[in-house]
A and B are shown apart, each in its own frame.
Chain A
Amino acid sequence: MSAALSVWVKGIGLWAPGAANWAAFCAVVGGREAPGDDARPVAEVLPPNERRRAPESVLLAAAAAGEAVRMSGLDAATLPCVFASAHGDQTITDYMCATLAGTPTELSPTKFHNSVHNAPVGYWTIATHCHASSSAVSGGETSFGAGLLEAATLAVADDQDVLLASYDIAGAGPLGEMTATTGPFAVALVLSPHADIGAVRLDITPAPGNSGSSPTGNAWLDGVAASNPSAQAIPLVHALALARSTALRVAAARELDIHVDVEVAP
Chain B
Amino acid sequence: MPHPMPPLSIRAYTATSALGRGLDAHADALLASRGGLEPNDFSSAPLDCWIGRVAGLEEEPLPPELAEWECRNNRLAWLALRQDGFIDAVRDARERYGASRVAVLLGTSTSSIGATEEGYRRLDHGRMPADLHRPVLHTPHSLAGFVATAFDLEGPCLTVATACSSSAKVFGNAERMIRLGLIDAAVVGGTDTLCDSVLFGFNSLELVSGEPCRPFDANRGGISIGEAAGFALLERVTEDTTGPMLIGYGEASDAHHMSTPHPEGLGADIALRDALARAGIEAGDVDYINLHGTASQKNDEVEAALVARSFPATTRASSTKGFTGHTLGAAGILEAAITLLAMRDGRIPGNLGATTPDPLCGPQMAWTSEQREVRIALSNSFGFGGNNACLAFAQVGEPA
Contact = CB atoms under 8 A, between A and B. Distances in A.
B163 to A, nearest CB: 5
B385 A138 contact: no
Contacts, number: 224
A125 B255 contact: yes
Interface string A89-122: 0000100111011001101110011111111011
Contacts of B140: 86-88, 117, 138
B169 to A, nearest CB: 6
A136 B160 CA distance: 6
- Which of B133, B202, B203, B253 is packed against the most chain A CB atoms within 10 Å? B253
Given A116-B163, A126-B258, A253-B148, A135 B169 contact: yes
Interface string B145-188: 10011000011111111110000010011011101111000000
B241 interface: no
Interface string B122-153: 01001110000101111111001100110000
Interface residues of A, number: 64
A5 interface: yes
Interface in B184-216: 196-197, 200-206
Contacts of A117: 109, 140, 161-163
A134 B253 contact: yes
A178 to B, nearest CB: 4
Contacts of B179: 157
A71 interface: no
B255 A128 contact: yes
Contacts of B79: none
B161 A138 contact: yes
Contacts of B145: 140, 254
Nearest to A156: B180
Given A112-B205, A126-B257, A177 B128 contact: yes
B251 interface: yes
Interface string A242-266: 0000000000111110000000000
B241 to A, nearest CB: 22
Contacts of B177: 153
Nearest to A104: B200
Contact of A126 (B172, B252, B256): B256
Nearest to A114: B258
B252 A131 contact: yes
Given A5-B180, A118-B162, A125-B385, A100 B156 contact: no
Contacts of B238: none
B255 A131 contact: yes
B158 A150 contact: yes
A179 interface: yes
A114 B270 CA distance: 25
Interface string A124-153: 011011111111111110010010011001
A149 B156 CA distance: 8
Contacts of A180: 135
Given A131-B267, A177-B127, A254-B154, A206 B161 contact: no
Interface residues of B, number: 75
Nearest to A145: B156
Contacts of B181: 4
A134 B258 contact: no
Contacts of A137: 158-161
Contact of B126 (A97, A109, A135, A174): A174
B269 to A, nearest CB: 10
Contacts of A96: 117, 197, 201
A133 B160 CA distance: 13
Contacts of A139: 141, 144, 157-159
A244 to B, nearest CB: 27
A134 B254 CA distance: 10
Nearest to A254: B148
A158 B133 CA distance: 42
Given A86-B141, A122-B258, A178-B128, A115 B121 contact: no
Contacts of B385: 116, 118-119, 121-123, 125, 134, 136
Contacts of B254: 125, 131
A208 interface: yes
Contact of A206 (B100, B251, B387): B100
B135 A126 contact: no
B154 A174 contact: no
B263 interface: no
Contacts of A178: 116, 128, 133, 135, 137-139
A34 interface: no
A189 to B, nearest CB: 17
B100 A208 contact: yes
29 contacts: A5-B182, A86-B139, A93-B113, A96-B117, A96-B201, A97-B116, A97-B197, A104-B45, A104-B196, A105-B200, A107-B201, A113-B201, A114-B258, A118-B162, A126-B256, A129-B255, A130-B253, A132-B253, A134-B253, A136-B161, A140-B141, A143-B141, A153-B173, A158-B176, A175-B116, A178-B138, A179-B138, A206-B182, A255-B99
Interface of A: 4-5, 86-88, 93, 96-98, 100-101, 104-105, 107-109, 112-119, 121-123, 125-126, 128-140, 143, 146, 149-150, 153-154, 156-158, 174-175, 177-180, 206, 208, 252-256
Question: Which 5 pairs of residues, A with B, have the shortest CB-CB distance?
Answer: A122-B385, A117-B161, A133-B251, A140-B141, A112-B201
Given A105-B200, A112-B200, 12 more contacts: A97-B119, A101-B120, A101-B123, A107-B200, A116-B163, A118-B162, A121-B162, A131-B255, A136-B385, A138-B140, A175-B128, A178-B116
